[in-house]
Structure 1
Amino acid sequence: MNEHSSAAERFRVLGAGIFSLVLALGVARFAYTPLLPLMQQQAGLGVAEGGLLAAVNYAGYLSGALLASLIGDLVVKDRLYRIGMVLAVASTAVMGLSTDPLVWALSRFVAGLASAAGMLFGTGLILNWLIRHNHRSELGIHFAGIGIGITACAAAVALMSQWLDWRQQWFALTVFGAVLLVPALRWLPSPGRNPASHGAAQMADRPPTAGFLRLFMAAYFCAGIGYVVSATFIVAIVDRLPGLAGKGSLVFLAIGVAAAPACILWDLVARRTGELNALIAAALLQIVGIVLPVAADGLAAALVGALLFGATFIGMVSLVLTMAGRYYPTRPAKMMGKMTLSYGAAQILGPAMTGWLATAVGSYAAGLYLAAAVMAVGTLLLVLLRSLEKRQISAAGLVPCPQG
């Protein structure tokens, strides 16, 4: 394969990943966030029930992560990825077919499974393909799909709300998802029919120590709490702030705009500073982004907070999953799944706690302060992790996470 065709195939594979994340994360998962206030107004969805539906969604994601951590066969992962993409479209359609909370809960659970298929199986397959074909093992371009998905869905909901009710918007998003399904499935080569090319990189797993992994998972749990509250409730929070009614969708759009290029930028930061230093920097900026909408008044503060949050949360996910893939290049989804179990557990706990707090105090804002506090703990854990890494390098002369 010549250099031109190799580059074209690389962008085609990365394109499949982008479309899969726009579908599985943007449509099936995050479209719920800008539609939440509309469903509360038009479909009778309560405040606490909105949080519980989000928790059910993350329970589905956690179940998918558990499955990913148990499966090592690439062909099986490929099949589950493709099933997940179809379920992403189906679960979106179901949201508009009923007003029964149990049906909505089933849809959100299946959407969580589908998003895990795109995020973990799809990402693992793409990282494995990049390594086998001697491409740089960075996922910034791939993870841009999440930001693009958030941006596209936020913009679509903002536009469609002028003409369509909540149910019609879910159906419109279903059509959009069906269009995305085609490249998401066709552009990703099946590992069973696409063996490594001649001269492909030889892969060997270099797992971290047990202590390093435990600390890493604890820090990622904290990041999950920090992420999920804003990602789920920011539209509802901003809409209820004085003078900002109706501006929540604009703030959510800003998150997506910032998230789209963020992973590419954090890849560049990590090349210069190392992944852990990049993670610490991203965590500190994310804390500011989380609290700014409620700590300062006005739309400008909410937008700056959204830009900081969007630019950091997905960068942290990209860095962590890339590190996991480099530890286990022969079976990247296994450690990605383990890390996501920690992140996913936080995503079940966070929305449920925020819904309970919102009911108790009459505002979602308390959840943001809680999320920021947990993120501060996670940042301290990352600092400890960096110290542990330095000690391991000194003791064994090994770099825990080899650079790609």
Structure 2
Amino acid sequence: MSPQRERIKVLGAGIFSLILVLGVARFSYTPLLPQMQQQAGLGVAAAGWLAALNYAGYLSGALLASLISDLVLKDRLYRIGMVLAVLSTVVMGLTDNVIVWALSRFLAGLSSAAGMLFGTGLILNWLIRHNHRSELGIHFSGIGIGIAGCAAAVGLMSHWLDWREQWFAFSAIGCLLLVPALRWLPAPDRSPLTKSGQKMEDNPPSPTFMRLFMAAYFCAGFGYVVSATFIVAIINQLPGLAGQGNLVFLAIGIGAAPACINWDFIARRTGDLNALILAAVLQIIGILLPVMFGGLLASLFGALLFGGTFIGMVSLVLSMAGRYYPTRPAKMMGKMTLSYGAAQIIGPAFTGWLAARLGSYAAGLYVAAAVMAIGTVLLLLLKFVEKREAAESAAILALCPGNMGISAQGNQ
């Protein structure tokens, strides 16, 4: 098999795995939420807690990823997670018991972490090892495709199937996605050398950089989760937009599908931190447009902006983790995702509580935008820290020119 064809196949495994764990196991809950409320009696606060438990599972998976360095074990857990994604989806249609749903959402969160962290780490390690660019834009297109596909599927199926039957339909789709997600990802190589013989060495950031980075990523997680979880219900509650929530969710997926590839190109020109700052500002605008201006056009444009930025930020951050830790990218990915995941537990639970008190989810979008603004300030501060530390490193290297090292970070 040619190197380029092998690369496409490995990236294909990643795309299908993300469609499975995030599109089917995770994001199908969002367009199905209004129907579950109408047909299965799911309450507003309970809906928020179910979403929070999904992220609790994701956070547990992130904690596990941050503690594991062995590539073979990561590969095994990735494959278990793919199967778990299908099983957790089936369970949603088997009952209307909220406790069982809660367990299903927690397990779906674990499977999401398996795809996002173990799968992404294995793929990034493979790319670096085979001297490809350490960029994840193509890989992360699976998230946007998953979101758009789920929204389109619910839009079609809701005319003929009830909420329960749609969960079963998603389970069947998940079984089809499972095959390439498992078969196309090769067994991991634990050699410390790339295929060209270059030694793979980690180049970690400073503790100060990491603390600020994790705080900024927490804010990004909060800004993301409120819209991602409740946007369908929010849009359906806005004046004149009843029944349009699923269309807006579809627009998020359409915006997200090519976004990571676009942000890879932007980051090459501007640098990673500048690209993250730009994405954060645009995401704030996307979050606020539906509630500040109303109307379908503003909501669709906001959805495209939101979809085109939130996944770009995730892709950029996890790609940076791979460049800092080429030998064990999932370890830093896990630490960053602990921060992102903590926000994803707090966000839905807080928004559900706020909605129960105010009678609307819309206030949650204003809170999400405010938290994102704080995160943007932290990213600006991070640029200052990066410049200061680069100057200090340059001064040290000038004094000790023989200590220069080379990290294997792909052909960038």
TM-score by length of 1: 0.97
How far 1:393 moved relative to its partner? 1.0
Q: Cα gap change, 1:135/1:201 in structure 2, threshold over 3 Å: closer, same or farther?
A: farther
Tell me, in whole angstroms, the C-alpha distance in 2 between the residues paired with 1:12 and 1:200: 23
Distance 2:177 2:81 in 1: 13
Give me the whole-angstrom Cα distance separating, in 2, the residues matched to 1:202 and 1:145: 31
For 1:251, the aligned partner's letter is V
1:216-235 residue pairs with structure 2 within 5 A? 216-235=213-232
Of the three residues 321, 346, 349, the one matched with 1:352 is 349
Report the secondary structure of 1:163's partner residue: coil
Partner of 2:94: 97
Q: What is the aligned length? A: 400
Partner of 1:296 in structure 2? 293
Please say if 1:165 is aligned against 2:145.
no
Rounded to whole Å, the distance in 2 between the matches of 1:319 and 1:131 is: 16
Question: Hey, what does 1:252 align to over in structure 2?
Answer: 249
Question: Which of 378, 393, 396 is equivalent to 1:396?
Answer: 393
How far the C-alpha of 1:6 sits from its partner, in A, is 0.2
Aligned alpha-carbon RMSD (Å): 1.6
Q: Is the 8 A contact 2:193 2:199 kept in 1?
A: no
Aligned partners of 1:326, 1:196: CA distance in 2, in Å?
15
**Corresponding position of 2:263:** 266
Which residue in 1 is equivalent to 2:129?
Answer: 132
Whole-angstrom distance in 2 between the partners of 1:136 and 1:367: 38
Spell out, residue by residue over 1:132-185, the C-alpha distance to the aligned partner (whole angstroms, 9 max, x if none): 001111000000000000010010001000000000000000000000000000
- Distance (whole Å) between structure 1 residues aligned to residue 190 and residue 175 of structure 2: 25
Report the CA distance between 1:202 and its aligned residue.
Answer: 2.3
8 Å contact kept, 2:81–2:112: yes
Over 3 Å counting, the alpha-carbon distance change for 1:201 and 1:27 in structure 2 is: farther
Alignment map for 1:5-404 (pairs within 5 Å)? 5-191=2-188, 198-397=195-394, 404=412
Secondary structure of the residue that 1:96 maps to in structure 2? Answer: helix
- Unaligned stretches of 5+ residues in structure 1: none
Superposition misfits of 4+ residues, deviation over 6 angstroms: 193-197
Deviation for aligned residue 1:325: 1.1
User: 1:193/1:180 Cα in 2 relative to 1: closer, same or farther (>3 Å)?
Assistant: farther
Q: Tell me the SS of whatever aligns to 1:191.
A: coil
Equivalent AA in structure 2 for residue 96 of structure 1 = G
Q: Quick check: 1:221–1:345 contact (8 Å CA) kept in 2?
A: yes
Separation in structure 1 between the aligned mates of residue 143 and residue 233 of structure 2, nearest angstrom: 21
User: 135-144 or 195-204: which moved more?
Assistant: 195-204
The answer as to whether partners of 1:284 and 1:379 remain within 8 angstroms in 2 is yes
Letter of the 2:363 partner, please give it.
A
Superposition deviation, residue 309 in structure 1: 0.1
**In the alignment, residue 288 of structure 2 is paired with which amino acid?**
V
TM-superposed CA distance for 1:195, in Å, is 9.7
What is the distance in 1 between the residues matched to 2:249 and 2:329? 31
Answer with 209-218 or 191-200: which moved more.
191-200
Cα contact 1:133–1:196 (8 A) shared by 2: no
Contact 1:139 / 1:318 at 8 angstroms: preserved in 2?
Answer: yes
Tell me how far 1:201 sits from its aligned partner: 3.9
In 1, Cα distance between the equivalents of 2:249 and 2:286?
13
Question: Could you tell me the TM-score, scaled by structure 2's length?
Answer: 0.95
C-alpha distance in 1, partners of 2:284/2:293?
Answer: 14
Q: State the Cα deviation string for residues 183-210 of structure 1 (Å, max 9, x = none).
A: 0000000115999774254210000000
- Once residues 159 and 35 of structure 1 are traced to their aligned partners in structure 2, the CA distance between those partners, rounded to angstroms, is 12
